[in-house]
A and B are shown apart, each in its own frame.
Chain A
Amino acid sequence: MILSIIAVAAVTLGTVGIGMWGVRFARTTSDLYVASRAISPWWNAAAVSGEYLSAASFLGIAGLEMQIGVPALWQAVGFAAGYLALLLFVAAPLRRFGSYTLPDFAEGRLASASLRRLAVVAVLAIDGFYLVPQLKGAGIAFGEVMGAPYWAGIVVVGIVVSLYVALGGMRGVSYVQAFQFWVKTVTIALPAIVLLIYLGGIPNHRTVFGDELPHAPRAGITVVLHQPELVRFPAATRFQLDGREQYARPGEELKLPSGRITLPPGATIPLPSGTPAQTGSEWARPVTSRGEGSPLFIYSLLLATFLGTMGLPHILVRFYTNPDGPAARRTTVRVLALLALFYLFPAVYGALGRALAPGLYVTGQTDTVVLTLPAIAWPGTGGQILGAMTAAGAFAAFMSTSSGLLISIAGTISHDVWGRGRRASMTVRRRRFRIVAALGMALPALLALAARTVDISIMVGWAFALAASTFCPLFLLGIWWSRLTSKGAAAGIIIGGVLAVGAILAGALVGAQSAGGAVNALLTQPAIITVPVAFAAMIVVSLATAPQDARSQMLALHAPEGLGLEALERARA
């Protein structure tokens, strides 16, 4: 535990230190927002990846994998694929268009102030949906590493991030993000490799890939429940509850009170009610017939992540730090390479967690497997050092993503919302940016306190679904289709956004678990319906309204660099 605290403190100090060093460069508003567009492609690619690899990637994929099985790995595939969509359709034209933010693009492309306001609302909603799970991750990780209460991690990460965003702006943050990318990659890769070598591969082969359900190890297992929990026993099990002998029949559901549950060696592990009991071979199947392994859910998730990444405001603003279109393409290809390296490793933790840390199934705390696995798999100093590394990486993950989101929120509010921000003087805007950066964490932190029981992966999936249903059609049609009109764009954003938020809220309120099959999948991840509907709305309404002249916008989006003004005039003709 001491080691973990030292590692987390080192990452935090490194972050603040590099942030402070960056402050010296933050001289103008343009520095504060987009770092003067003077960062080299490798730095920028590491910064984009650093910002992108959030609690969902560092903790959530492994946690979901342990819980539902190999289908969870589709999420990693989708997270990486999003940059391919961004590269193919958005990166270079958007950079050439030269706006700072998503609302700038909406107004610049379609000359409509009300469309801009709509874009502002969507930006804040997406940032909010994404920030809450980061803070939840901080809360559970603080609890796991330091034994602190859930709210403590939220408060600490919230304050640290607010401070360095307010002080450093993006220039500082760009170097912080690049630093944190490497922190995260090393701290997820090294422990995974060392553990696999130490264990000589994946142990308990029949539990992970064979015909067995997860069961207690040879020494038995003790789990502490902090609150009463409804669990289902897949097999007949004798167990002790605070020292008293108990017995559960096969398939019996029991409401366990808070206290210490002790399972004898070889006992089949009880699971929270609603989580299906899977044998190893069921667990290892990439596509199953139900729930989050069903083809419908997988395709919906792939669609949301593939098309949602381009609509994440905190990622897109980073593409403006490229000097020109080709540099934006170069950066994106490098991001794909860096992410390819990172995403090989979360899967290892999910599989080892199923083999060695079945206690996490009982409490449903599989989201903490990356943090707790090293000490369980390797009792002694070795495991503690590796555990300290993953703890440090997890903190880098919350801090980098939340700082990017907070910059997006502060930039949007100080630029667009706060009393005609665009016409205020530089100094006033800069002061406002800092005030919002200091205060903007409060509401998401309150929401995170309420969202303690929702899976990190699921919440992040919502942010992607919302981005894919609003900004993705705006970009794809706005960049590649000159017939798009402002009314069409507004209709698509409103219909896509309302449908996505509606499905998410309906799923959260009625409990997606209680609905069956396809409905369940669509309420948890609605993108496969909402994205096509948003596209259709944009196209139909655009065709029904009067065409807008988009020649100069198309020129700005697609004309290669270095043509010269005269040549541009000829090309336009």
Chain B
Amino acid sequence: MYLSQLRRAQLELSLLGLLAFGGVVGSLPLLFALIPALGHIDLLGVPLAAWLVAAPAFPVFVVIGAVYERRANALDESFRDLIHEE
């Protein structure tokens, strides 16, 4: 009974992580399709749109991953405490 609650909590956390990822990456292609002006703004000689594909997604993945890792381990930890209290 407890275990299925833990599984549910972990799944919810994972889906939250998926939502964060989907928000970042899933919206990018749409953004470019809808706002062509991003191609006209230059940053260090390179259009902003090209920058947005080439670089920022990767550190965002690391941040989402690190936050998820902490939260998932914390869920496991509280489950362990719960079991050991009984």
Contacts and interface: CB of A to CB of B under 8 A. Distances in A.
A485 B63 CA distance: 36
A551 B66 CA distance: 30
B58 A87 contact: no
A244 to B, nearest CB: 41
Contacts of B66: 333
Given A344-B54, A572-B3, A87 B11 contact: no
B23 interface: no
A343 B62 contact: no
Contact of B49 (A286, A340, A559, A562): A286
Main secondary structure of the interface of A (DSSP, over half): helix
A299 interface: yes
Contacts of B72: 92, 329
A443 interface: no
A285 interface: yes
Contacts of A83: 61, 65
Interface in B11-53: 11, 14, 17-18, 21, 25-26, 28-30, 32-33, 36, 39, 42, 44-47, 49-50, 52-53
Contacts of A329: 69, 72-73
A80 B3 contact: no
A561 B72 CA distance: 13
A571 B3 contact: yes
Contact of B7 (A77, A326, A480): A480
Contacts of B29: 74, 286-287, 295, 298-299
Interface residues of A, number: 53
B69 to A, nearest CB: 5
Contacts of B53: 70, 73-74, 77, 286
A38 to B, nearest CB: 21
Interface in A522-573: 554-555, 558-563, 567, 570-573
Contacts of B33: 287, 295
A332 B45 CA distance: 35
Given A87-B68, A573-B1, A80 B73 contact: no
A35 B59 CA distance: 30
Interface of B: 1-4, 6-7, 10-11, 14, 17-18, 21, 25-26, 28-30, 32-33, 36, 39, 42, 44-47, 49-50, 52-55, 57-59, 61-62, 64-66, 68-69, 72-73, 76-77, 79-80, 83-84, 86
Interface of A: 70, 73-74, 77, 80-81, 83-85, 87-89, 92, 201-202, 205, 209, 281, 284-287, 295, 298-299, 302, 325-326, 329-330, 332-333, 336-337, 339-340, 343-344, 347, 480, 554-555, 558-563, 567, 570-573
Given A89-B14, A286-B29, 18 more contacts: A84-B17, A87-B17, A87-B68, A201-B45, A209-B47, A284-B49, A284-B50, A285-B32, A286-B53, A287-B32, A287-B33, A330-B69, A336-B61, A343-B58, A560-B77, A561-B76, A563-B83, A570-B86
7 closest A-B pairs by beta carbon, nearest first, are A340-B58, A560-B76, A88-B14, A287-B32, A333-B65, A567-B83, A286-B53
